[in-house]
Structure 1
Amino acid sequence: MKEKDYAYWVKLSSSLTLVLASTMVAAKFWAWMSTGSTTMLGSLTDSLLDITASAINFWVLRIALVPADDDHRFGHGKAESLVGLGQAAFIAGSACLLAFYGVERLFNPVKSEAVFTGVVVSIYAVVCTLLIIAIQHWALKQTKSVAIKADSVHYKGDLLLNLSVIVALVLANIGWVYSDGVFTLLIAGYLFYNAYDVAKESTDYLMDKELADDIKLQIEQAVLSHSEVLGFHELRTRQSGPTKFIQLHLELDSNLTLANAHRISVEVEEAIHSIMDGEVDVLIHKDPF
C-alpha cells in the first residue's frame, strides 16, 4: 500500500470514529440520567474513555504519518505503537471502573427506571458502534495499523456492552435485579483480556520485534533466487508504523567489480520490494565470499 493510501484510511477511520462516538456519549448520558442503571453508567464511562482515546488517536496518527526528517530519520511510525500502549491503559482503566460498578450493584441491586429510554439509546449505540467497527475493520484490513486495532478493541467491547445493557435492563425490569452487576462484570473481564492483547502487540513494535517467520522466509527466497548471490547473513527486520525495515549482508563473488556488486544488490532489493506489502526500507551490505 502506498503511503498516501495508508494516510487516507487512518485519517478517515479516526475522524468518523470521533464523530460517531461523540453522539453516543451524549445519548448515553441522557439515558443514564433517566434510568439510573449502573450498566448504563458503565457503558457511558467506557464511551467517555473511548472518545478520549479516539481523540488521542486522531492526533497521534497524524504525527505517525509525518515523513522522516533530519531528527527522525526512520520516520515517526512508532507514535502508533505509543498510542496503542496508551489505548491499552485506557481499556484496562475502563475495565477497572466497570468491575467496580458491577460489584457495587451486586451488593446493592436496584430496579432501573425508564427502561424504554435505556433500551432505545442502547439500540442507537449498537448501530453507531457497528458502523465504527465496520469502518475500522476495513481500514485495518488496508493498513494493519496498531493504533486502529487498539481503537477497534474499545468499540467491540462497546458493542457487547451496549447489547448487555439492553438485556440487563429488560431482565432487571422483570425482577432479576442482579443482572445489572453480572453483565457489567462480564464485559469488564472481556476488556481486561483485550487490553493485554493490545499492550503486547504495541510493546512488540516498540521493542523492534522481528517480522513474522513466513515473511522472513519470503525474504530469504527472494534473496537466494538471484543467480549471482552466493548467500546472505545477519538478516534483521522490524516494523515502524506502515514501514517495514529489512537489513542483511549479501555474500558475493570477491572478484566482482564494484559496479556489478552494486547492480546485484539493487536487483535483490527490487526482488524484496516485489514480494512485500506496504512501504519497505531495505539496507544491503555487500560482503566478499
Structure 2
Amino acid sequence: MAVVLVSLKTVASWQTGSVAMLGSLADSALDLLASLVTLVGVRFAAMPADDDHRFGHGKAEALAALAQVILITISALGIAWRAIDRLQNGAPTGDLEMGVGVSVFAILATFALLAYQRHVIRKTGSIAIRTDNVHYQSDLFLNLSVIAALVLDQMMGWRAADPIFGIGIALWLMWGAGRAASHSVDQLMDREWPQEEREAFLYAARDYPELDGLHDFRTRHAGTHRFVQFHVWVPADWTVREAHDRMDAVEEKLQSRFPGTEILIHLDPEGHTDRETMLPSAITEKKP
C-alpha cells in the first residue's frame, strides 16, 4: 500500500507543487519505512525465549514503535520547515484534478488498510501494529487537508491555504508521534496493566480457594505477551509437593481464561509478608 501511494504522490507532488501534497508524500514514504521497521520488530518479538532472552523478545515491538516515532517526528519537522518557507516566499499550486484524484484514492486505500489493521490488533494486541494504525489514521485527515488546500488555493485564490495546511499536517503528525511514544515507553518501563485488567484477573483469582491471601501482585506487558506474578499464603501443613501441584493446576486454569499470559506464583507460609503488600480489601471482594 505504501509503495503504491508513494509512487502516485511523487507524481502528484511534482505536478501540483503543493507543500501539503509534499507533506503527504513524505508521510507515505515514512509509512513505507515504518512498515518495514514494524515487520522486523514484530517478527523479532514473536521469537521464543532463548538463553540470552529468557523472558522472550516482546519488547522489540516497543523499540520498533519508538523507531517509528522518531521517523514521524523528523518528517513533521521537515514538512513544517517547507511550509513556513512557502508561507514566506509564496508560490501557486497547479493541476487540481491530479492532486484531488490521488488524495481521494489514498483515502479509500487507507480505509481498507485501517480495517485490516484493526482486525490484526484485535487478534494479537500488537503495540507496533497499533502504532502503525495510529499513523495511518492521521493519513485520512492529511489527505483531506491536501484536498482542502488545493481547492482553497486554486478555486478561491487563497495562496496561504497550502502552507497553512502543511503546518497543520506537521503538528498533527507530531501529536500522533507523542501519543504513540507514550505507549511504547509504558511497555519498556514495565507499566502495570490498566486497572480494569488487573481487577478482572483478581476477580477471577477469587474463584480458587488456593489463592486466598494473594498479595504482592505485579503485572506487565512485553509485546503481545502479558506477565503476572504474585505471592500466595499456603497452610503450614501442606507439603512442597502438594503446594506445587495445587498451584500448577490453578495456573493452568487461569491461563486458559487469560490466553497469552505467563503466571508466576510464589508461595509464602500463611500470614507471612515481606512488607506491606496486601491488596486492599475492596479488591478481594467478589465482583457483584
TM-score computed with the length of structure 2 as normaliser: 0.89
Q: 2:151 aligns with which of 163, 170, 195?
A: 170
Aligned to 1:101: 82
Which aligned runs of 4 or more in structure 1 are off by greater than 4 angstroms?
A: none
* Correspondence for 1:69: 50
> For the residues of structure 1 that align with 2:208 and 2:153, how far apart are their CA atoms?
69
Q: Does 1:261 align with 2:243?
A: yes
Q: How does 1:71-90 map to 2 (within 5 A)?
A: 71-90=52-71
One-letter amino acid matched to 1:268: V
Matches within 5 A, 1:20-59: 20-59=1-40
Please give the root-mean-square deviation of Cα atoms over the aligned residues, in Å.
1.5
Q: Which residue of 2 aligns with 1:213?
A: 195
The residue that corresponds to 1:200 in the other structure is 182
| Contact persistence 1:218–1:275 (CA under 8 A) | no
Q: Would the aligned equivalents of 1:95 and 1:191 in 2 still touch at CA under 8 Å?
A: yes
Deviation at 1:208, TM superposition (A): 0.8
Q: Is the 8 A contact 2:87 2:160 kept in 1?
A: yes
Note if 1:243 corresponds to 2:225. Answer: yes
DSSP 3-state at the match of 2:159? coil
The alpha-carbon deviation at position 92 of structure 1 amounts to 1.4
Higher mean alpha-carbon deviation, 157-166 vs 196-205, is at 157-166
1:148 paired to 2:129: yes
1:275 aligns with 2:248: no
Q: Which moved more, 1:160-169 or 1:101-110?
A: 101-110
Q: Which amino acid aligns with 1:252?
A: V
Could you tell me whether the CA contact under 8 Å between 1:222 and 1:268 is conserved in 2?
Answer: no
Q: Which residue of the other structure, out of 94, 97, 114, is the alignment partner of 1:113? A: 94
* 1:264 aligned partner, one-letter code: R
- In structure 2, relative to structure 1, the CA distance for the partners of 1:110 and 1:69 (3 Å cut) is same
Q: Work out the CA distance in 2 between the residues paired with 1:108 and 1:133.
A: 37
> Within the alignment, does 1:182 sit opposite 2:153 as a pair?
no
C-alpha spacing 1:32/1:229, structure 2 compared with 1 (3 Å): closer
Counterparts in 2 of 1:1-20, with a 5 A limit?
20=1
Q: Is the 8 A contact 1:222 1:271 kept in 2?
A: no
* Aligned counterpart for 2:106 among listed residues 104, 120, 125: 125
* Residue deviations 1:253-283 (CA, integer Å, cap 9, x gap): 111122321232123313422432x411111
Change (3 A) 1:228 1:134: closer
Where 2:214 maps in the other structure, the secondary structure is: strand
Separation in 2, partners of 1:125, 1:246 = 42
Deviations 1:50-69 (A, max 9, x none): 21111111222111111111
Q: What amino acid is aligned across from residue 104 of structure 1 in structure 2? A: D
Q: Which moved more, 1:205-214 or 1:20-29?
A: 205-214
**Secondary structure, in 3 states, of the residue corresponding to 1:117?**
helix
**2: CA distance, partners of 1:224 / 1:124:** 53
Contact 1:50 1:90 in 2 (8 A): no
Q: Distance in 2 between matches of 1:243 and 1:119?
A: 43
Alpha-carbon distance in 2 for matches of 1:285, 1:98 = 53
Counterpart pick for 1:139 among 111, 120, 123: 120
Equivalent pair of 2:37/2:67 in contact (CA under 8 Å): no
C-alpha distance after superposition, 1:12-39 (max 9, x if no partner): xxxxxxxx11000000001111111111
**Percent identity at matched positions?**
41
Q: How many angstroms apart in 1 are the aligned matches of 2:206 and 2:11?
A: 64
In 2, Cα distance between equivalents of 1:123 and 1:213: 41
The offset of 1:142, in angstroms, is 2.0
The alpha-carbon deviation at position 121 of structure 1 amounts to: 1.4
| Contact 1:66–1:75 (CA under 8 A) maintained in structure 2 | yes
Q: Are the equivalent residues in 2 in contact too, given 1:248–1:285 (CA < 8 A)?
A: yes
